[in-house]
Chain A
Amino acid sequence: MGNEEIFSFLITLICYMFFKSLYHKKKILFFSPVLICPILLIFLVDYVPISYQAYEKGTQLFTYLLQPATVAFAIPMVKHWQLLKRYTIELLSGVIFGSTFALFLTLGLSTIFHFDPIISNSLAPRSITTPFAVTIASQIGGNQSLSAAFVILTGVVGMVGGTWIIRLIRIQSPLAKGVMFGVGSHGIGTSKAFELGESEGTFSSLAMILSAVLGMLLIPIWVGLFIKI
């Protein structure tokens, strides 16, 4: 590895660790590492003489770890197996209904706005947790980076807007609150759901995992059909 690559690796790690601990103390949305780190690092790659190719190469270990992280989703599933079995019907139908609606709304709006295919294909899996979304995006002709950025913005909107929706349409059951966050805004929304309560958070993470696995199987098929229409 050259100097540029080592520097890219270290600066990403330091930036993440610094803002993670700052966000832990201050809880200001803008300091969330998910928002501020990409912004700062984009400026860095743009304004100092580091090529994006070198940055990408230096940080490929992090990107690789997205894959084993997907495998790790088995742990919360086994842990909450009883809950998963007890609410199979509610969770599955909520996830299927919500993520199908999400996909077709996104595809429909993409058509209305005349997005470039690379944008609309990266946008399609935006409600799904990043490690799955980037794979789906590349399978259907989107781009991993665009997809990751859209997933994050979707998550942040859901995290901020979720509690407002709960009040607006008077949602009472922790199940509905959890599935709403998990389906609509994946991991970022799930962190908010855990602030509302343990059961909200658990339902949210289960809904997130289910919609990721379902999306992985169904989105490529749905997108194929939609393009034919």
Chain B
Amino acid sequence: MTVIRVVLQVCICILFNEIGKGLSQLFHLPIPGHVIGLVLLLLVLKQEWLRMEWLEEGAEWLLGELLLFFIPSVVGVIQFKALLAENSLGLLFVMGVGTLMVMMVTAWFVEQLYRYRRRGHHGE
């Protein structure tokens, strides 16, 4: 029973994706269909035209197994072996040092903003 329910709920997400794709093509929008699908679903849920329980389990299954869905894409790097080997040091630097810098700057910024806004609210 649970399996059928999850499959049907996943189909609702697929339906919204396809509607989004259709709209994107029809109106030649620069935004990809799945993002339009996300906005549509958000709207429908907020307006309570569709109840959360009707697709919650399916949506959580999709998000929970996200890793499975992009593994095949990663395997595709096999087509770029030479290019990657050539640039490996630079890439490791960007991904290693670059990521840590981004996180440090972001955390610092939000921490300062949070402290500032909290002081404001309490009138200290």
Binding site for B on A (CB under 8 A): 12-13, 15-16, 20, 33-34, 37-38, 41-42, 45-46, 52, 55-56, 59-60, 62-63, 65-79, 81, 89-90, 93-94, 97-98, 101-102, 105-106, 109-110, 113, 115-116, 118-119, 123, 126-127, 130-132, 134-135, 139, 143-146, 148-150, 152-154, 157-158, 161-162, 165-166, 168-169, 171-173, 175-177, 179-181, 183-185, 187, 213, 216-217, 220
Contacts and interface: CB of A to CB of B under 8 A. Distances in A.
A203 B98 CA distance: 22
B102 A109 contact: no
Contacts, number: 273
Interface size class of B (residues with CB under 8 A): 35 or more
Interface of B: 10, 13-14, 16-17, 20-21, 30-35, 37-38, 41-42, 45-46, 52, 55-56, 58-60, 62-63, 66-80, 83-84, 87, 90-91, 93-96, 98-111, 113-115, 117
Contacts of A75: 45, 52, 55-56, 59-60, 63
B66 A45 contact: no
Given A72-B59, A171-B107, A180-B103, A78 B72 contact: no
Contacts of A116: 83, 87
Given A67-B34, A113-B87, A180-B106, A145 B74 contact: yes
